[in-house]
Structure 1
Amino acid sequence: MRHTEIISQCGQKRCFPGEFEKQSFVQVIFPHEKSDWIDYLEEARKNFVNIVNAIAKYERCLVVCDDIELVKSYFSENENIEYVQFETNDTWARDCSAISIIENGEKKLLDFTFTGWGSKFDASKDNEMSRALAAHYKTPMKTIDFILEGGAIESNSKGLLLTTSICVLNKNRNASYSKEETTQLLKEELGVNEILYLDYGYLAGDDTDSHIDTLARFVDEKTIMYLKCDDQDDEHYEQLFKMQEQLKELAKQYDLDLIALPFTDAIYYDDERLPATYANFLIINGAVIVPTYGVRQDEEALSVFRDFFKDRDVVAVDCSVLIRQHGSLHCVTMQFL
């Protein structure tokens, strides 16, 4: 769908387009020495280079850098890669970047508050980033005094917002808000009609309190891809089975289709199980970029994406390094209209 079509569809109201809509660019924050990647910085940078290069084959990629000249040295000349300077705390662009909506037929950015997933980590610089880069975006921006991360919300472009209650309703975010107040605020600010709360879903090693983008994702207006665990001996089985059952009920209620994604074998680093998930993919213009982890389920997952995304290329990027810091491909990117 082109910009003009999605803007026309929204008409004179507010609209939160799905990731599968036409985009202008994707934003990435490049790892630096003051980020949590310092123990394996070059490995992390290589991973980010692969992600940026994959994006740049299809659309513009804006790379936020602490040192532009240094970061440029990692890339070949490419007119689809742009650089802007700002020093962040870390590199999780999905959660600290502004969120794109359409209002009154025009693009607009919403800058929610980011507190490092319920004040688990210092995020003061990350929280300032969008306002600091506002002139670069050349899009009107509204700052909202409400804690919300981009990885916590999924839209189908038709008024449905998918999220998890354990994250968005967690008292480590907006303790003074009731469920009803949170629901109303999200409806008003994002221009959605219904909030679909999943009450189950868990990944070992996850710092986000169960972000929806690790569990279940809209891939078009009526289809959700979700993470399924078939191993009854796995610690995730009960939660993901309950999530699946809840998704089935929502699918009946809202006439949605469900597609299961495989669950990886357990992956460890320094004796810690890591939150590897194929649900952390990124949809861009002409392609879907899928995280892989060097496990036997990689090809099965890629087949699921190829079967569904007939009109997009399916591009695999190894994200084994990313999950050492408890996030994956979608977590380090943010699309802009």
Structure 2
Amino acid sequence: MPHRLPRHLPPRRSALRALAGLGAVALGAPACGPGDSDSDTDRDTAVRAPRMGAEWERHARTFMAWPALRSVWGGALHAVREDIARVARAVAEYEHVVLLARPGQVAAAQRACGRGVEVVPLAVDDLWARDTVPVFVTDGGKVTGVDLNFNGWGGKQEHTNDARVGRALLAEYGIPRRKAPLVAEGGSLETDGEGTLLVTESSVVNDNRNPGRSRDRIEAELKRTLGMKKVVWPAGVRGQDITDAHVDSLVRFTAPGVVLLDKAHPDTPADVWSRAAGQAKAVLSEATDARGKPFEVVDLPQPDLSEITGEGDDFVSTYTNFYVANGAVFLPEFGDRKADGRARGILREHFPGRDVVPVRIDAIASGGGGIHCSTHDQPGDPAA
């Protein structure tokens, strides 16, 4: 959940609302169709308890996506592609990176990213791999992709290709697929790897994803599908950004029982994002994890908005949207040297033994996202 400048539906995407239904999947919780049920996986997988691991566990690879649509990004498309290439090159220093790109854009993406990044032809619409790529669970060492039925964050953006990324990607890599019984995005889910899940109500208990479904029903389905034992629900914020306030821009685990929380911005204590951060802190302070232990809540600073180098009404100025890879943590660098340095120090303290790598992402952040939003980890032994 980002602290941003004046709040309204992101203008670069709100213009596409009328396009959202054209050739796209229907909104709401999906019904299983032919080939879409749990039978897509081995039948044993459907009845055994899965496990969704923590991000700090070993990765086989990181998936990313090359933004394709000028109709989404307008004149910022070149700059946002430069940012994506910069993030891909940085992560590729530590683990294998696979960048998905439309077939006609593969060559340009490869030139931008260099030989250290594998560019794979696969039709995409936008860069938000965290939300379009399936989340992964394991069962007895076997990895399964859980397709969360991406619907353009409740029909807010054209997603004809991104709605199909889950099925196409898993087929490309020979990974069994399980179709989730609800609609969500990877950025809406945060886990400690030990059965605790953090989810904002606004992003999942929402009629634009799961019409008519209660929080209790959704919680039961999340537990069954992802192998969770405890779900903690910050309220979040509806309708103020395209994601309806994903948890990965609000609060993140660094270890079981330990979370970093986006601190309420001192310059805007009354705005909806600061209030939501305060509400989340209150919820976490009173909650326990799957082991019955209370949370240790650590505040992450916010940059001074007068010092940041990016701009725009949608600018996401939160450090919580960091990404944990093999041997490193990647976090945004906003241009406020004091706050950037404090955030790096906190992450070094909480991820000892990993390099903390700052990356400038002003174009991505101006579009309403961050490093975590643009990356997606696959668990397993590092790819050769």
**1:211 alignment partner AA:** H
Offset from partner CA, 1:82-120 (integer Å, 9 cap, x none) = 121122221111111111101243111111111111111
Q: What is the CA distance between 1:277 and its match in structure 2?
A: 0.8
CA contact (8 A) 1:201 1:243 kept: no
- The residue aligned with 1:240 is 277
Q: What is the CA distance between 1:144 and its match in structure 2?
A: 2.6
SS in 2 for 1:37: helix
- The residue aligned with 1:28 is 64
- The residue aligned with 2:192 is 156
Taking the aligned partners of 1:138 and 1:13, their CA distance within structure 2 comes to 21
**1:207 alignment partner AA:** I
Return the match for 2:254 from 219, 222, 238. 219
Taking the aligned partners of 2:325 and 2:268, their CA distance within structure 1 comes to 36
Q: Please identify, of 98-107 and 155-164, the stretch whose mean Cα deviation from structure 2 is larger.
A: 98-107
In structure 2, do the counterparts of structure 1 residues 237 and 69 end up closer, same or farther at CA, with 3 Å as the change threshold? closer
Taking the aligned partners of 1:158 and 1:178, their CA distance within structure 2 comes to 25
- The residue aligned with 1:276 is 317
Higher relative contact order (CA 8 A, sep 6+): 2
In structure 2, do the counterparts of structure 1 residues 308 and 173 end up closer, same or farther at CA, with 3 Å as the change threshold? same
Return the match for 2:330 from 285, 289, 294. 289
SS in 1 for 2:362: coil
Q: What is the CA distance between 1:302 and its match in structure 2?
A: 1.1
The normalised TM-score by structure 1 is: 0.89
**2:357 alignment partner AA:** V
Q: What is the CA distance between 1:36 and its match in structure 2?
A: 2.2
In structure 2, do the counterparts of structure 1 residues 145 and 172 end up closer, same or farther at CA, with 3 Å as the change threshold? same
Q: Please identify, of 209-218 and 287-296, the stretch whose mean Cα deviation from structure 2 is larger.
A: 287-296
Taking the aligned partners of 1:225 and 1:323, their CA distance within structure 2 comes to 19
Give the superposed CA RMSD: 2.1
**2:279 alignment partner AA:** K
- The residue aligned with 2:90 is 54
Q: Please identify, of 51-60 and 167-176, the stretch whose mean Cα deviation from structure 2 is larger.
A: 167-176
Does residue 1:321 correspond to 2:352, yes or no? no
Aligned length: 323
Taking the aligned partners of 2:348 and 2:295, their CA distance within structure 1 comes to 20
Q: What is the CA distance between 1:129 and its match in structure 2?
A: 1.1
Taking the aligned partners of 1:112 and 1:45, their CA distance within structure 2 comes to 26
In structure 2, do the counterparts of structure 1 residues 299 and 206 end up closer, same or farther at CA, with 3 Å as the change threshold? farther
SS in 2 for 1:187: helix
SS in 2 for 1:283: strand
Q: Which runs of 4+ in 1 moved over 4 A?
A: 267-271
In structure 2, do the counterparts of structure 1 residues 34 and 143 end up closer, same or farther at CA, with 3 Å as the change threshold? farther
Q: Please identify, of 134-143 and 118-127, the stretch whose mean Cα deviation from structure 2 is larger.
A: 134-143
Correspondence list, 1:22-101, <5 A: 22-34=58-70, 36-66=72-102, 67-78=105-116, 81-101=117-137
Q: What is the CA distance between 1:283 and its match in structure 2?
A: 0.3
CA contact (8 A) 1:206 1:275 kept: no
Taking the aligned partners of 2:100 and 2:276, their CA distance within structure 1 comes to 36
In structure 2, do the counterparts of structure 1 residues 134 and 273 end up closer, same or farther at CA, with 3 Å as the change threshold? closer
Return the match for 2:300 from 257, 261, 270. 261
The normalised TM-score by structure 2 is: 0.79
CA contact (8 A) 2:65 2:100 kept: yes
Taking the aligned partners of 1:248 and 1:64, their CA distance within structure 2 comes to 40
In structure 2, do the counterparts of structure 1 residues 35 and 333 end up closer, same or farther at CA, with 3 Å as the change threshold? farther
Q: What is the CA distance between 1:169 and its match in structure 2?
A: 0.7
- The residue aligned with 2:26 is none
CA contact (8 A) 2:86 2:113 kept: no
Q: What is the CA distance between 1:246 and its match in structure 2?
A: 1.6
Q: What is the CA distance between 1:77 and its match in structure 2?
A: 2.3
CA contact (8 A) 1:268 1:274 kept: no
CA contact (8 A) 1:161 1:192 kept: yes
Does residue 1:169 correspond to 2:205, yes or no? yes
Q: Please identify, of 68-77 and 42-51, the stretch whose mean Cα deviation from structure 2 is larger.
A: 68-77
**Gapped runs of 5+ residues in structure 1?**
1-11
- The residue aligned with 2:263 is 228
Q: Please identify, of 96-105 and 16-25, the stretch whose mean Cα deviation from structure 2 is larger.
A: 96-105
Taking the aligned partners of 2:312 and 2:299, their CA distance within structure 1 comes to 28
Q: What is the CA distance between 1:270 and its match in structure 2?
A: 7.0
- The residue aligned with 2:344 is 302
SS in 2 for 1:198: coil
Taking the aligned partners of 2:169 and 2:267, their CA distance within structure 1 comes to 47
Q: What is the CA distance between 1:178 and its match in structure 2?
A: 1.4
Offset from partner CA, 1:136-189 (integer Å, 9 cap, x none) = 222111123421100000111111111111111112110131111101110000
SS in 2 for 1:36: helix
Q: Please identify, of 227-236 and 321-330, the stretch whose mean Cα deviation from structure 2 is larger.
A: 227-236
**1:121 alignment partner AA:** Q
Taking the aligned partners of 1:302 and 1:168, their CA distance within structure 2 comes to 31
CA contact (8 A) 1:164 1:211 kept: yes
